[in-house]
């Protein structure tokens, strides 16, 4: 019998397939159906820093002693102005905690709370409150692209590490950090995050880019479902980090099929997370992916998912950077690309 069991954030899971944070996990009925379809754990929809900061019952944010902290603090206030609809995403801080309690009572699989924020402040104390509500772990979603030309990448990374350290200090349960891919020295940064207290890293937050409305001269939200092509960036970095960073690794973005799951695990991921495929095919898609996963493993005579994990990681290479450079050259000089270039030149 095929064993799909894996471990993530110290949690024993029945498979490497999780539901990622999304509006789908707002509904208790969806969470129950996901468990029935085979989801190994649920990452709840996010509670945003802006909701906590603007909540009448929340404490005022702490003073900001430097320009980066000021920038991040001001951004959280401005975001509340630019995104008034955020209040409808969930029921606010207290309602969010109640949703966690109800989810824990409704299912047997782990429930992971999701906090979305970037600045240091009193809002970070809500991590501990999610633990009190019954969350088995916390995922800290650090989606923010700084546009201040006076702030260096080193300052940004230090601020993120300080945030992780602050949140982790309030918790007894594991903490995962969800990152975007826009960091210039990701392996070093990943290691620093782990040392700061991150038990796991989730790669990557999707980069949502608004479109322009030329008639109104306004930006328009543009949210498209992910596609399997997006998985390539995740595979690249998980394969690079596996074995070099001690944190658990999760892949989110581009996971649609059993093949996608297998590729991510082969790269070194402990788990994979899915949303877009569920929005496209329904929550029951979990069951199909798991069935296909078992069929593939049985066909290729793998008794456990653990035997596949890391088989495509780059951990054994003396100089991964040299390998990446060689692969880059190899791709660009491939016969197929060369032929296409010749045809274009003619």
Spatial CB neighbours of 292, under 8 Å, sequence gap ≥ 6: 257, 258, 259
Whether 97 contacts 55, CB under 8 Å: no
What local confidence, expressed as pLDDT, does residue 324 receive? Answer: 60
Distance CA 96, CA 92 (A): 6
Q: 3-class SS at 275?
A: coil
The pLDDT of residue 78 is: 45
Do the strands 211-213 and 271-274 form a parallel or antiparallel pair, or are they unpaired?
A: unpaired
- Cβ neighbours for 155, distance < 8 A, ≥ 6 positions apart: 68
| Beta carbons within 10 angstroms of residue 343's beta carbon | 8
Question: Kind of pairing, strands 271-274 and 248-252?
Answer: parallel
DSSP string for 227-268: -GGGHHHHHHHHHHHBTTB-SEEEEESS--SHHHHHHHHHHT
CA–CA dist 92, 247 (Å, integer): 31
Those residues whose C-beta lies under 8 Å from the C-beta of residue 345, and which sit 6 or more positions away, are: none
Distance CA 341, CA 234 (A): 28
pLDDT (0 to 100) of residue 224: 81
For residues 129 and 115, give the distance between their C-alpha atoms in angstroms, rounded to a whole number: 11
- The neighbouring-strand residues paired with 252 are 273
pLDDT tens, per residue, the chain with 346 residues: 899 999 999 999 999 999 999 999 999 999 999 999 999 999 999 999 988 887 765 544 444 445 455 555 455 444 444 444 555 555 689 999 999 999 999 999 999 999 999 888 889 999 999 999 999 999 999 877 777 889 898 999 999 999 999 999 999 999 999 999 989 899 999 999 999 999 999 999 987 778 888 999 998 877 788 999 999 999 999 999 998 899 999 999 999 999 999 999 999 999 999 999 999 999 999 999 999 999 999 999 999 999 999 999 986 555 666 556 656 666 666 655 555 445 444 4
The confidence score (pLDDT) of residue 122 equals 83
Q: Which two tokens stand for residue 93?
A: 């801080």
| CA gap 161, 261 in Å, rounded | 29
Asked whether 238 and 268 are in contact (CB, 8 A), the reply is: yes
Which one-letter DSSP state was computed for residue 59?
P
Closest to 207 measured CA to CA, from 262, 260, 254, 150: 254
Quick one: which of 223, 19, 231 has its CA closest to 114?
19
Cα separation of 208 and 275, whole Å? 15
Query: Which residues are CB-contacts of 267 (< 8 A; sequence separation ≥ 6)?
Result: 234, 235, 238, 239, 242, 251, 310, 312, 313
**Domain boundaries in the chain?**
6-315, 320-346
Domain 6-315 has what CATH class?
A: alpha beta
Neighbours of 10 (CB within 10 A): 12
Please work out, in degrees rounded to the nearest 5, the angle formed at the alpha carbon of residue 28 by the alpha carbons of 51 and 224.
65
């Amino acid at each position: 019998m095929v064993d799909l069991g894996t471990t993530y954030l110290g949690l024993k899971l029945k498979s490497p397939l999780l539901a990622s944070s999304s509006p789908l996990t707002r509904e208790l009925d969806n969470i129950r159906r996901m468990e029935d379809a085979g989801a190994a754990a649920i990452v709840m929809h996010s509670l945003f820093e802006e909701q906590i900061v603007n909540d009448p019952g929340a404490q005022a944010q702490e003073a900001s002693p430097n320009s980066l902290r000021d920038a991040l603090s001001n951004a959280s206030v401005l975001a509340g102005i630019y995104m008034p609809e955020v209040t409808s995403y969930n029921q606010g801080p207290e309602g969010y905690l109640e949703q966690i309690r109800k989810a824990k009572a409704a299912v047997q699989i782990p429930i992971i709370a999701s906090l979305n924020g970037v600045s240091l402040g009193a809002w970070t104390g809500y991590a501990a409150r999610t633990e009190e509500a019954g969350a088995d772990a916390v995922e800290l979603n650090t989606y923010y692209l700084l546009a201040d030309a006076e702030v260096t990448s080193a300052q940004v990374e230090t601020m993120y590490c300080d945030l992780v350290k602050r949140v982790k200090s309030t918790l007894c349960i594991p903490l995962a950090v969800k990152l975007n891919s826009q960091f210039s020295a990701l392996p070093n940064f990943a290691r620093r995050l782990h040392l700061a207290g991150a038990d796991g890293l989730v790669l990557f937050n999707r980069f949502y880019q608004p479109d322009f409305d030329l008639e109104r001269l306004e930006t328009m939200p543009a949210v498209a479902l992910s596609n399997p092509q997006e998985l390539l960036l995740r595979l690249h970095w998980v394969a690079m980090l596996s074995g070099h960073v001690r944190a658990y690794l999760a892949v989110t973005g581009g996971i649609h099929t059993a093949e996608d799951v297998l590729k991510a695990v082969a790269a070194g991921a402990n788990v994979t997370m899915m949303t877009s495929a569920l929005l496209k095919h329904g929550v029951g898609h979990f069951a199909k992916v798991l069935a296909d996963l078992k069929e593939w493993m049985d066909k290729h005579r793998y008794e456990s998912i653990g035997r596949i994990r890391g088989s495509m990681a780059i951990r054994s290479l003396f100089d991964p950077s040299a390998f990446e450079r060689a692969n880059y050259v190899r791709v660009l000089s491939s016969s197929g690309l060369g032929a296409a270039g010749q045809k274009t030149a003619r």
